A and B are shown apart, each in its own frame.
Chain A
Amino acid sequence: QKEVEQDPGPLSVPEGAIVSLNCTYSNSAFQYFMWYRQYSRKGPELLMYTYSSGNKEDGRFTAQVDKSSKYISLFIRDSQPSDSATYLCAMETSGTYKYIFGTGTRLKVLA
């Protein structure tokens, strides 16, 4: 079983929709949770970063971490065609400096 599971999609939504992207994990030692966005033929770029449980909001993006369920989510409000990309979750155990990535979810926002 993989340490981090992520639905690969693809996920197609109409412009303006609320998008929910999720990852589950099995290692209870993970403390740092990140979401990266990767456009085609580019490297990943960090979107959101959360330590331990809770919510974090940044503009149209909200990250949620539920450590009791080992489940993290990224919500995108008012989705735009420019949000079309692959979204990768990543997790890290404090002090290891090594990330474990999900496989990524391909999102397509239709104009």
Chain B
Amino acid sequence: EADIYQTPRYLVIGTGKKITLECSQTMGHDKMYWYQQDPGMELHLIHYSYGVNSTEKGDLSSESTVSRIRTEHFPLTLESARPSHTSQYLCASSVASGLYEQYFGPGTRLTVT
């Protein structure tokens, strides 16, 4: 089983609140990713990082931000949650070169009321 962790697993929060979804991995992977997954829909890449102090926006427009101050930690922040942010958020990591296997965390299911 992959050593990648996400907290919280479930979160119900009111509109306008600031939230941070945590993601940590103990595999020493340089690359990390955040995906959004809705039922019956494909995973959409919202942010990725190639290493410390490197972050990029993905293909899906997102109002979230990320930071990568430490290799093992890649938190995602929503400054002001809205009902449209209700979704499953998946964090993943991979090695820097060669096989591009991505290891996924268990996900955070976010509900904004």
Contact = CB atoms under 8 A, between A and B. Distances in A.
Interface of A: 2, 4, 6, 8, 32, 34, 36, 41-46, 49, 88, 90, 92, 97-104
B65 interface: no
Contacts of A4: 42
A45 to B, nearest CB: 7
A49 B45 contact: no
Interface residues of B, number: 25
Nearest to A42: B106
A43 B104 contact: yes
A43 B100 contact: no
Contacts of A46: 101-103
A97 B42 contact: no
Interface in B40-83: 40-43, 45, 48, 50, 58-59
Contacts of A102: 42
Contacts of B102: 46, 99
Interface of B: 2, 4, 31, 40-43, 45, 48, 50, 58-59, 90, 92, 94, 99-107, 109
Nearest to A34: B101
A45 B2 contact: yes
B107 A97 contact: no
Contacts, number: 56
Contact of A97 (B43, B48, B59, B105): B48
Contacts of A34: 101
A101 B107 CA distance: 16
User: Nearest 3 pairs between A and B by C-beta?
Assistant: A43-B104, A101-B43, A101-B42
Contacts of A36: 104
A46 B31 CA distance: 16
Contact of A103 (B2, B40, B99, B101): B40
B27 to A, nearest CB: 14
Nearest to B43: A101
A64 B4 CA distance: 29
Given A101-B43, A102-B42, A32 B2 contact: no
